[in-house]
């Protein structure tokens, strides 16, 4: 079946849905210039000998300098990135009422910048830094700007412990309230659109199964195979930045807005969010 025909089928499923939910992964942000995790030769996991040496909570506690050395170039890429048409398409679908929630595994803030409102960032975000010792939380802007400019690792102003971006590292707990809300939407969903996720990291990658077990339909838009391909109604092996705007177009009164060169912002322009809880992140 052609990509055009697959998109037409997905449009019909979305038209019939009463509670459609999107689950996005790193692949939705690769068109914005942010590398994903597992794609051959381009993924972050492929470019490090052992990501557990830098991107786990154990590694952060034992060698925070290595963590921040790894984070610095990635943070620069994220700060320079702009939302792409896929991000805007999901925000527009939400604005029209066709999409009830966006659940993302990404920490890059691009969904929020594109205008998504009912957004669940299950792996955390870069708006804040948090002290692992006393749990004091601060907006990330000033501390991260200092780190980017001078390489100064942020320290807690209360206990002087090294602070960590409020993102979920391997072996760490997911934000409880955020994950519970995401699970609620998954259980209520009659359509799940997976966009740019390999579904390999639990428990976020297991959310579509909650929906499927309650009778939901499943659309997967991803270049790589996933463990749920055999249960999907539609699989589209194409660029999410091309597919999602085409999926959204029939529901929009006008074309989605796009970002401009002046849209680049720093972490200081982003607001605040929530605390963490007791759902374990898979490896």
Task: Name residue, tokens 């934000």.
Answer: 175
**How many angstroms separate the CA atoms of 273 and 73, rounded?**
24
Q: Assess contact for 182 and 122: CB atoms under 8 A.
A: yes
What totals of helices (H) and strands (E) does the chain contain, helices first? 9, 11
Q: Please list the active-site residues.
A: 123
Beta-bridge partners for 99: 20
Q: Is 200 exposed, middle or buried (0-12, 13-18, 19+ CB in 10 A)?
A: middle
**How many angstroms separate the CA atoms of 272 and 274, rounded?**
7
Q: How many residues does the chain have?
A: 283
């Amino acid at each position: 079946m052609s990509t055009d025909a697959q998109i037409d089928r997905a449009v019909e499923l979305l038209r019939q849905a009463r509670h459609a939910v999107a689950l996005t992964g790193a692949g939705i942000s690769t068109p914005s210039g942010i590398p994903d995790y597992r794609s051959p030769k381009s993924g972050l996991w492929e470019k490090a000998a052992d990501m557990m040496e830098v991107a786990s909570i154990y590694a952060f506690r034992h060698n925070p300098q290595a963590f921040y050395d790894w984070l610095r170039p990635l943070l620069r890429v994220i700060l320079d990135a702009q939302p792409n048409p896929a991000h805007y398409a999901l925000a527009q679908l939400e604005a029209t009422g066709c999409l009830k929630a966006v659940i993302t595994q990404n920490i890059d803030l691009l969904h929020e910048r594109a205008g998504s409102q009912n957004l669940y960032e299950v792996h955390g975000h870069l708006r804040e830094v948090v002290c692992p010792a006393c749990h004091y939380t601060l907006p990330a802007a000033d501390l991260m700007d200092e780190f980017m400019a001078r390489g100064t690792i942020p320290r807690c102003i209360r206990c002087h412990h090294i602070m960590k971006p409020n993102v979920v590292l391997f072996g760490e707990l997911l934000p409880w309230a955020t994950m519970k809300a995401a699970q609620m939407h998954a259980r209520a969903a009659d359509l799940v659109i997976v966009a740019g996720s390999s579904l390999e990291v639990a428990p976020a990658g297991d959310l579509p199964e909650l929906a499927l077990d309650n009778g939901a339909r499943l659309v997967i838009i991803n270049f790589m195979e996933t463990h749920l391909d055999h249960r999907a109604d539609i699989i589209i092996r194409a660029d999410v930045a091309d597919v999602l705007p085409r999926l959204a177009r029939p529901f929009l009164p006008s074309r989605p807005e796009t970002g401009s060169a002046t849209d680049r912002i720093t972490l200081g322009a982003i607001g605040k969010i929530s605390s963490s809880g007791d759902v374990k992140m898979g490896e």
